[in-house]
Structures are given as C-alpha cells and as structure tokens.
Chain A
Amino acid sequence: MEKRVLVIEDEPNISEALRFILTRNGWQVEVSADGQAALGRLQNDPPDLLILDLMLPGITGFDILRSLRSQSLTRDLPVLMLTAKGQAADRVEAERLGVTRFMTKPFANAEVLAAVHAMARA
C-alpha cells in the first residue's frame, strides 16, 4: 500500500512541485495550505509523514509541531520542517519541539526525497 504524506505549505507552486516529485516516487500526497484545518485532520487520521512549512498564515509550523507532539497518535509522526528562515534559533526551536528533519529553502528536490526516504525507513 502506498504511504501517505501530507504537505502543509501555503505557497501553491512549491506544494505543486512537491506533490509531483513525491507522487512520482510512489507516495500518496495530500496538500493543505491551511495549517489550522490540517491540524484537525492530522489528529484524526495521521499520514505516514508530514512536510511542514514553518511560516504559515494564522498558525506557525512550531504551533502545529507542538500540538502534534502532545498527542499520542502523532507523537512519533516523522516531520520534515521547511523554512525560508535560516536562523539557527529556528532550527534549535524546531529540534526542541521534536522535529525529525529541518531543511531550509531553497531546497534541491533530491535533498527532499532523500530526507523523506530516510525518515520513512527509520
């Protein structure tokens, strides 16, 4: 059965590119630009992996990650956090909140795929 990945990203062209490369690599991809709505879905029916943008309208990637880690169903969900903010403080905060991988934009597609495969295997 295909593994499911949810992409929470408010930039439609970035999520479209991610959807394409992940689908081509055998993932079943869902995309959401609304972090708050996605959080509800995640807590009821978590995917196998989450790709999460840090800066989202209304709610930050940190808020989502914090909420996920506080729920038993999503405590161990692999999360790849993407951010256009490359500050060390953000990485430290993401790690403190329990991110699995942290990647700064712009990223190479191969880099994302390699991270996703490594996280799915772990």
Chain B
Amino acid sequence: MSRPTLTGTRIRARRNLRGLRQADLARQVGVSPSFLNLIEHNRRKVSAPLLEALAQVLGVSADALVEDTDGRLVEGARAAALRSEADLVDLERIDEFTGRFPGWASVLAETQARVERLERVVEQLNDRMTHDPYMGEALHEIISAVTSVQSTASILSEAGEIDPVWQARFHDNILQDSTRLAEGAVALVNYLDAEKSDETGLAAPQEEVEAWLGRQGFHLTEIEQDGVDPEDMVRGQVELASDASRVLAQQWIATFADDARALPLVPFADALARTGLAPQTLAAQFGVPFDQVLRRLALLPPEAVAQAKLPPMGLVICDNSGTMIFRRAVEGFAMPRFGGGCPLWPLYQVLQRPYVPMRQVLMTAGRLGRRYLSYAYAAQATLPGYDMPVVMRATMLITAGSGAEDGVPLAIGASCRTCAQLDCAARREPSILTAGG
C-alpha cells in the first residue's frame, strides 16, 4: 500500500479524535471540504505544504500523519483516558504523551483493549445468565424469597403492636422463605460449580451415563429380560455422546443385568413388599451380597417401589480413593459432582470396615436439616491376588422415609463448600455459608 493511501486515513482518524468537523478543518487549512474529503478517502495526494498545515491544526507532527506510528497508541490512550474519572485536562497533550513515552502509551492502549475484551466477556456472561432458563428461574426464586423476607421482616421490626395471629403468620413466612433462600443458594452454587467444567465443552462420561439413566427414571426395562445386549442398548442414545460414556454405560448395564438375574423382579418385589426396607433380610433370603441388594433397590421399576410403599431411593457408589463413580440423587440430599462428598457419610465409613453392613440415620447439617435413612456396604471389587493392590467399592443407599425418623441421626453435609456445620473435624475448606467463605 502506498504512503498516500495511509495518510488520508490517518488525517481522518486524527480529525475524528479531535472532534473536528471535516468542513471546519478544510476551512482552517484553506481547502474546500470536498477536496479534503477526497484526501481523507485516499483519492487525492496531499501536498507537503498542505500536510504541514493539516498537521499544525491537528496538533501533530507532519511525520505522524505520514508515518504509521502512534495512531493506535493515541486512540488506545485516549479511549482509556475518556473512560477514567480523572481530570482530562491533559488529554490535549495526548500526542505529546504517546510521542515521548511510546512504551507507556503502548501499555495503556493494550490495557484498554484488554478491558474492552473483558467487558465483552462480561456482557456475554450476563446475556447467558439472563437467557439461561435454569439460572433465570433460580435467581427469580432467590429474589422473590429475599423480597418477601425483607418486606415481612420490616413489618415485624417496626414499632407498634401487631396482632399475634399476623405476627405468627409472618414468622412462619420468614421461616419458609429463608428455607427457600438457603436451598436456592445452594442449588445455584452447585449449578455454577458444575457449569465451570461444562465450559470445557466436555461432559464427564459418568455424567452422560447418569443423564441417560435419569431420562429412564433409573430403571432399565431391558435388564428384566434374558438376553440383554448392552451394546445394542447404548446405540443411538442421545445422552451417551462419547465412546467413553458408551463403554461405561455397557459396564453398568452388565452389572445391573447381573443384579436382576440374582434378584428376579417378581419374587424380589414380593419379598420387598413383605419385609419393607430390610436389605439384610433380603440379602440373606436371596443369598446375595448386601451391596447387590442396595443396587437392585435403587434401580427397581417405580411401580415395584410404590407397591412396597417405599419412597424413592438414591444410590451412591465410590471406589477406595473416595471418588464417586455412580450417583442417583434423592431429593434434598445433594451429591457433589466434583470433589469428594462429606467424609462423615457412611459410604466412606464402611471402607474402614469392609463386608460389615451399616445402617445409619442421617441429618443434613444446618437449622433446616432433613433426615435420611442410609444403608452402606464395602467390598473388594477385584479378585484377590498375592501382593496385588486392592480395589474396593463402597455402596450407599439413601431414602427420605421409612425409618429415617427413628434413632439418633448423624449430622452430615453434601460437600464442605455448602455445609452449615462449621465446627466439623472433617472440614476440608471453608463453607460459602460463612461470611469469609
């Protein structure tokens, strides 16, 4: 590109930077606006005397108009200055600044460009928050609860008598809304934590399998029949997007099919209806390991669970590193998607006492604790061999009803991050529920 081509563009840029109209600049340098327009659009060459005159009016050296030097710097520095709240008197001397301190001007221009890039990211994130239906709904819930708490608390705190009936009602409303608020905040944190990993664009294979099972209500009808073909079952399933998730799903199908063969649906459902939730009795009756009963219970068809008058059952399985390798959540009992769960969970306790079934009533920590009944069991997952590393599997079944009201509960959390039990010996990191969290 020839130099005159760039010169016209630079004159136009400088004029715009100074906020001068084309006609005003033309008048000041003694040419017609149409001629200046042609120069600025690089369609006429500019003579040396005219270049000097333009440079003088624009407050730059003639070289600055000809040489491709500091236009970007001036623009960047000027943009940064205009956005600051500082006194802008020195703005008039921006050319001098960029001329004398090109290094600093470059830093300023780059910082400004970075700020603009970050602002675009913030806008995009804001847009995403606005249009993400889950996020929108969660925030709406939280704001509604905050509104109600604020308005109600304000009534209660005002001087003057309030009818005791209204007073009791308002106290009750505050309690309800603070529950909503706490649950909404925890759900949002868990969602945002999960979102961090999704930004990589890759869902973990385990999550794909759980999503696939979730769509089927954690019951695979096919496993109740003979001749299960795991490969056929995973073919074309939209949730199983990766090879890894399809392999994993096939492994679980094989396990669940084994469970179904060992504990056939009709006799098992009948036995369950008779005994109620008594995994040890069922394991003895069918002559199977305790954890097989736990898995079978959690993956029963909903009709069989309803027939036994049992609430939905959650299941979590981990290996001896503590990593959860299977999760079926139960309402109100959060299972973190990343990092370990609460070390107090019976799931981890049974790893210390393999082959000993554990029954424990749990209560989620915090003022609004909920009670759950849990059964847990750990067993070796690999065949024993001399001096071979041992791989264990621990399994925990969780249910909100049927026996959860009896006995002294153990206070547990989901993960340290969202746990209200602040003085816990097992705490790994501060909770977000504390001011400093």
Contacts and interface: CB of A to CB of B under 8 A. Distances in A.
A20 B146 contact: no
Contacts of B151: 14, 17-18, 21, 106-107, 109
B155 A105 contact: no
Contact of B140 (A14, A20, A55, A106): A55
* Interface of chain B, main secondary structure: helix
A18 B139 CA distance: 21
| B: interface residue count bin | 10 to 19
A17 B152 contact: yes
Contacts of A14: 144, 147-148, 151
B144 A105 contact: yes
A4 to B, nearest CB: 21
A24 B71 CA distance: 66
A41 interface: no
Nearest to A10: B144
A100 B317 CA distance: 57
A13 B150 contact: no
A118 to B, nearest CB: 19
Interface residues of A, number: 17
B115 interface: no
Interface in A60-109: 84-85, 87, 105-109
Contacts of B173: 13, 16-17
Given A17-B152, A108-B154, A84 B169 contact: no
Contact of B155 (A85, A106, A107, A109): A109
B143 A13 contact: no
Contacts, number: 53
A11 interface: yes
Contacts of A87: 130
A106 B150 contact: yes
A12 to B, nearest CB: 8
A113 to B, nearest CB: 11
Contacts of A18: 151
Given A20-B166, A84-B140, A109 B130 contact: no
B177 interface: yes
A85 B143 CA distance: 9
Contact of A84 (B144, B154, B166, B170): B144
Nearest to B137: A55
Nearest to A84: B143
B175 to A, nearest CB: 10
B111 interface: no
Contacts of A107: 147, 150-151
B34 interface: no
B216 interface: no
20 contacts: A11-B144, A13-B152, A14-B151, A16-B169, A16-B170, A16-B173, A17-B152, A20-B155, A20-B166, A21-B151, A55-B140, A84-B144, A84-B147, A87-B130, A105-B146, A105-B147, A106-B150, A106-B151, A107-B150, A109-B154
Interface of B: 130, 139-140, 143-144, 146-148, 150-152, 154-155, 166, 169-170, 173, 176-177
Given A16-B152, A17-B170, A107-B150, 18 more contacts: A11-B144, A13-B148, A13-B152, A14-B144, A17-B148, A17-B152, A17-B155, A17-B173, A20-B155, A20-B170, A55-B140, A105-B144, A106-B146, A106-B147, A106-B151, A108-B150, A109-B151, A109-B155
User: Lowest 8 A-B CB distances belong to which pairs?
Assistant: A17-B151, A84-B143, A106-B147, A13-B148, A105-B147, A13-B173, A106-B150, A14-B148
Interface of A: 11, 13-14, 16-18, 20-21, 55, 84-85, 87, 105-109
